[in-house]
Amino acid sequence: MKVSISEVNKYVGQEVTIGAWLDNKRSSGKIAFLQLRDGTGFIQGVMVKSEVDESIFQKAKSLSQETSLFVTGVIQEDSRSSFGYELLVSDIEIIHEASNYPITPKNHGTEFLMDHRHLWLRSRRQHAVMKIRNEIIRATYEFFNSHGFVKIDPPILTGSAPEGTTELFHTKYFDEDAFLSQSGQLYMEAAAMALGKVFSFGPTFRAEKSKTRRHLIEFWMIEPEMAFYNFEDSLKVQEEYVAFIVQSVLKNCSLELERLGRDTTKLEKVVAPFPRITYDDAIEFLHEQGFDDIQWGDDFGAPHETAIADHFDQPVFITKYPTKIKPFYMQPDPANDELVLCADMIAPEGYGEIIGGSERIHDFELMKKRMEEHQLPLEAYEWYLDISRYGSVPHSGFGLGLERTVAWIAGVEHVRETIPFPRLLNRLYP
């Protein structure tokens, strides 16, 4: 019977055939250990020389890395491995012999691995990261679907620029100029007026000249938007959502977290509510910590965010930033109109900002004024102004960056490992 590795627990004591690739092997005179992977998982195949034909044993010993094969044998429980099962191999049939596979078990440099990303994805480590990414995606849909949100897909080709015009990818749209979406937010605001609570999940593009462990040129964002929700209501959704995805990964990806050597005690502490600190207090805190390089009115850099995050062992909200360093659409703080009702969520352990969000301006005159101050071409935004023109209501939303969230939860240093084919500054291959 042909089975996949993820389902061998149902076949203990039975003979099965697994279509697999050889990940690695080790053999002595009497026994061969074949590390097998089939995409759904990893299992060790054990072949005992005295129990098979000599020719089969020799075939097993000569297998090269990444050769594809059908392996037949009996599934056994194996309490020594964390997977819990192994395959007592009786026969192998080679499908395709791979020779000189470039990624060997020795250490390779980052550039080499990035040039071979299409193959690097086959490794145990990358497999674990992709499984965790997938679990976060699954849990995201579960969370928003079970909280009454409707999934809405904003366009990718657009004429608007919610997050400022300096980092846009330009393209031609027949005779018009267009951009690749840097955020679906403005469309999600329109959709929230039609469907109440909505979320999007799609690719976004930023022509950022940043070469850091937190920046991708193309990344995926989850953008919920909620009519009648104020700033506080939105923070509650954010902390419940993030706690939910962390707990889902802990529950459903324990093998992967173990394979990555992730310290899960820190993740176990991630439960709502999350601590909060205002921008003003954060500046004061940084000064107390000896950061003389930052003044009120500056945006935080990575070292500042890390210092703030290290002070808490949960994700932390930094709230109420100065109006002048945030986008045009944020609602002023009624207590101080130099500030806006926004929050960034900073992940623990130095992974930086994973969420940016705010209450949105819903007053038509104020919105128009802000757009003029930001020198936005009003004709391109007429449709957006209709949101505050017709039955305007308070509303709030946020965007969570998927790759930074995967990096944090999986405990992976750089976002390049958290997306299958990363687009980075100066890297479009493979």
Comparing CB distances to ligand 4AD, the nearer of 42 and 321 is 321
Q: Are strands 31-37 and 42-48 parallel, antiparallel or unpaired?
A: antiparallel
Residue owning tokens 């932390």 = 316
Which among ligand 4AD, Mg ion, none contacts residue 397 (Cβ within 5 to 8 A by kind)? ligand 4AD
Asked if residue 189 binds ligand 4AD (CB under 6 A), the reply is no
Specify the stretch interacting with ligand 4AD by CB under 6 A; choose among 100-108, 213-221, 253-261, 305-313: 213-221
Asked if residue 399 binds Mg ion (CB under 5 A), the reply is no
- Residue 320 near residue 279 (C-beta atoms within 8 A): yes
Asked if residue 422 binds ligand 4AD (CB under 6 A), the reply is no
Asked if residue 355 binds ligand 4AD (CB under 6 A), the reply is yes
Asked if residue 183 binds ligand 4AD (CB under 6 A), the reply is yes
Shortest Cβ 315–Mg ion spacing (Å): 14
Which among ligand 4AD, Mg ion, none contacts residue 206 (Cβ within 5 to 8 A by kind)? ligand 4AD
- Residue 52 near residue 91 (C-beta atoms within 8 A): yes
Shortest Cβ 356–Mg ion spacing (Å): 3
- Provide the β-strand partners of residue 68: 21, 96
Asked if residue 208 binds ligand 4AD (CB under 6 A), the reply is yes
Cα four-point dihedral sign 292, 415, 187, 197: negative
- Residue 377 near residue 161 (C-beta atoms within 8 A): no
Specify the stretch interacting with ligand 4AD by CB under 6 A; choose among 11-19, 208-216, 226-234, 287-295: 208-216
Q: Which two tokens stand for residue 265?
A: 């005690």
- Phi and psi (nearest 5°) for 55? -65, -35
DSSP code, position 254: H
Binding to Mg ion (CB under 5 A): which residues in 312-371?
356
Q: Which two tokens stand for residue 80?
A: 């020594």
List the helix and strand counts (H, then E) for the chain.
13, 18
Comparing CB distances to ligand 4AD, the nearer of 67 and 358 is 358
Among 185, 314, 331, 388, which residue sits at the site for ligand 4AD (rule: CB under 6 A)? 185
* Closest residue by beta carbon to Mg ion: 356
Asked if residue 37 binds ligand 4AD (CB under 6 A), the reply is no
Binding to ligand 4AD (CB under 6 A): which residues in 368-397?
397
Shortest Cβ 31–ligand 4AD spacing (Å): 47
Residue owning tokens 């479009």 = 428
Asked if residue 319 binds ligand 4AD (CB under 6 A), the reply is no
- Residue 170 near residue 149 (C-beta atoms within 8 A): no
What does the alpha-carbon distance between residue 233 and residue 174 come to, in Å, rounded to a whole number? 42
Q: How far is CA 289 from CA 31, 346, 352, 369, 372, in A?
A: 59, 18, 18, 38, 39
Which among Mg ion, ligand 4AD, none contacts residue 154 (Cβ within 5 to 8 A by kind)? none
What does the alpha-carbon distance between residue 342 and residue 331 come to, in Å, rounded to a whole number? 8
Binding to ligand 4AD (CB under 6 A): which residues in 219-238?
219, 221, 223
Comparing CB distances to Mg ion, the nearer of 325 and 366 is 325
Shortest Cβ 208–ligand 4AD spacing (Å): 5
> Which residue in 137, 52, 11 sits closest to 409, CA to CA?
137
Shortest Cβ 144–Mg ion spacing (Å): 21
Shortest Cβ 305–ligand 4AD spacing (Å): 11
> Which helix or strand (DSSP H or E) is residue 400 part of?
strand 395-401
- Residue 282 near residue 312 (C-beta atoms within 8 A): no
- Residue 330 near residue 342 (C-beta atoms within 8 A): yes
Comparing CB distances to Mg ion, the nearer of 225 and 256 is 225
What does the alpha-carbon distance between residue 222 and residue 217 come to, in Å, rounded to a whole number? 16
Asked if residue 398 binds ligand 4AD (CB under 6 A), the reply is yes
Given the rule CB under 6 A, which residues bind ligand 4AD?
162-163, 183, 185, 206, 208, 215-216, 219, 221, 223, 353-357, 397-399, 401, 403-404, 415
Given the rule CB under 5 A, which residues bind Mg ion?
356
